[in-house]
Chains A and B, each alone.
Chain A
Amino acid sequence: MAKVVAVTGNEACANALRQVNPDVCGIYPITPQTDMMQRYASYISDGKVKTEPILVESEHSSMSACIGASAAGGRVITATSSQGLALMWEMLHIASGDRLPIIMPVVNRALSAPLNIHGDHSDAMGCRDTGWIQIWSENAQEAYDNTIQAFRVGEHMDIRLPVMVCMDGFIISHSIERMEYLEDAEVQNFVGEFQNLYPLLDLDKPKSYGPLILTDLYHEYKRAQHEVMLKVKNVVLDVAKDFEKMSGRKYGLFETYRLEDADIALVILNSAAGTSKDVVDDFRSRGIKAGLLKPRLFRPFPYEEIAEALKNTKAVCVMDRSDSFGGYGPLFMEISSALYQLQQKPALINKIYGLGGRDYLPSHGELVFNELNEIAKSGKINIIKEYIGVRE
């Protein structure tokens, strides 16, 4: 039986991790994630989980400890944000290259400089090429559900890859929402007993992690890593199907909202998608066919499926809560690549919004939809990439 609660995103994720009860947890504080690992540390102190905590001196060490524990053969978690994720960078590649299914909630926050603790997507977008699976979450419920599903995806024997579960810093991590918890037994049954692959602690079968691979085989190892990523979409969908049977909540590679017959659409990640759905409703009530697509699986990116979902629109705006300075927004680059393969494609623009936790308001969505409406009629784009909600 589901239990209805009023909790923050951090609390929801900490509870999901408690229900899974992993073997090892690397812990280092960083705003706005701190509160999640603090709660998890309380579960450990109170004897509610059997997890071995490793209190480290940096996120680089935290990810290193997780890599060691995962290679040893344990089910391993950690969590981080922003600078912490940035400090993990080189170890992120090692976790994925070694094919270690470490599960890590990432509470999205802006990167320095200037120093800022609030929510944007610069941190996770920056590490999109590290070989981790990325699943993004609109609200506390999705962050909780995605965290539980992440174990099944990453630990799948055909996959064995680390997974980061993203949610917006403060907006979701620290806001209290109504959501539903699953029963502990349901979650444990869903994720199942941890199956290890090549555990270092199996002393009867000695093995080595992290060998030197030079020009003779490195290229082949990366090709194999690419192949594994190609299998992730199906596993994500299978896991989502099982999760729906248990919870009644449906997940896919992305969510569409009133997109089927839409002329104009936003593509937008995480919490701002919720705000934008209200704007879509408002435009629909005025007879304008607006819609929305919210990516969930960002790595691997479902190019064909998203192109299929957007192919009948006339104008689309990709909303980025981070910037690739000197380039387009990172989400725009993906959508643009997806649409390029279509014979007939919608006009495409890119707006950068909400950096460093700047509020994203319904009025911002309205301005964008009005512009899209004009583009859909005229077919004319003035500026491809533009900041919105910014003071002149």
Chain B
Amino acid sequence: MKQKGWKDLVPGSVILEGGSAVKFKTGSWRAYRPVWKEENCIQCLFCWIYCPDMSIKVKDGKRGEFDYDYCKGCGICALECPGKKGVKAIVMIEEGT
């Protein structure tokens, strides 16, 4: 991609479109990866609500896999997950292990 020169810029560095964060993949920031254990998931969707990005994909009211392109590994989903009978449906593992 050709990078913009100084004459091509919008004054004041204003971004003139909505939802442009989708172009900026932040998954590489992650040090810990959340892993979904479907067998322990009660479909409460707390993870979907608490995720500060949009890394929990929901289809037809059901939680699906993580979107690792945007998950920064903050671990909030794993913390909030009530799991099934106290056994977490989301656990954090170190990246690269």
Contacts and interface: CB of A to CB of B under 8 A. Distances in A.
A98 B4 contact: no
B61 interface: no
A314 interface: no
B14 A220 contact: no
Most chain B CB neighbours (cut-off 10 Å) among A99, A198, A221, A224: A224
B11 A224 contact: yes
B4 to A, nearest CB: 7
A221 B3 contact: no
Contact of A160 (B11, B15, B16): B11
B9 A224 contact: yes
Interface residues of A, number: 23
Given A220-B5, A220-B6, A210 B13 contact: yes
B29 to A, nearest CB: 13
A224 B6 contact: yes
Contact of B11 (A197, A208, A223): A197
Interface string B36-72: 0000000000000000000000000000000000000
Interface string A6-49: 00000000000000000000000000000000000000000000
Given A98-B12, A98-B13, A224-B11, A208 B20 contact: yes
Contact of A97 (B3, B12, B16, B20): B12
A213 B14 CA distance: 11
Interface in B7-37: 7, 9-20
A294 B18 CA distance: 48
A216 B3 contact: yes
A150 B15 CA distance: 27
A224 B7 contact: yes
Q: By DSSP majority rule, is chain B's interface helix, strand, loop, or mixed?
A: loop
Contacts of B5: 220
A97 B14 CA distance: 10
B49 to A, nearest CB: 23
B97 to A, nearest CB: 30
A277 to B, nearest CB: 40
A217 B3 CA distance: 9
Interface size bucket, B side?
10 to 19
B1 to A, nearest CB: 11
A207 B9 CA distance: 15
A197 B10 CA distance: 11
Interface in A201-233: 205-211, 213, 216-217, 220-221, 223-224, 227-228
Contacts of B12: 97-100, 160, 198, 209
A205 B16 contact: yes
Nearest to B11: A99
B15 A207 contact: yes
A199 to B, nearest CB: 10
Give the most central of B7, B12, B14, B20: most A CB within 10 Å: B12
Given A216-B3, A227-B6, A221 B17 contact: no
A205 B16 CA distance: 7
Given A99-B11, A160-B11, A197-B11, A207 B16 contact: yes
B21 to A, nearest CB: 9
Contacts of B15: 207-208, 211
A207 B14 contact: yes
Contacts of A207: 14-18
A54 B95 CA distance: 48
Contacts of B17: 206-207
Nearest to B15: A208
Contacts of A206: 17-19
24 contacts: A98-B13, A98-B14, A99-B12, A100-B12, A160-B12, A198-B10, A198-B11, A207-B14, A207-B15, A207-B18, A208-B15, A209-B12, A209-B14, A210-B13, A211-B13, A213-B13, A217-B9, A220-B5, A221-B6, A221-B9, A223-B6, A224-B6, A224-B9, A224-B11
Interface of B: 3-7, 9-20
Identify the 8 closest CB pairs spanning chains A and B, nearest first. A206-B18, A99-B12, A220-B6, A223-B6, A208-B15, A98-B12, A99-B11, A198-B14
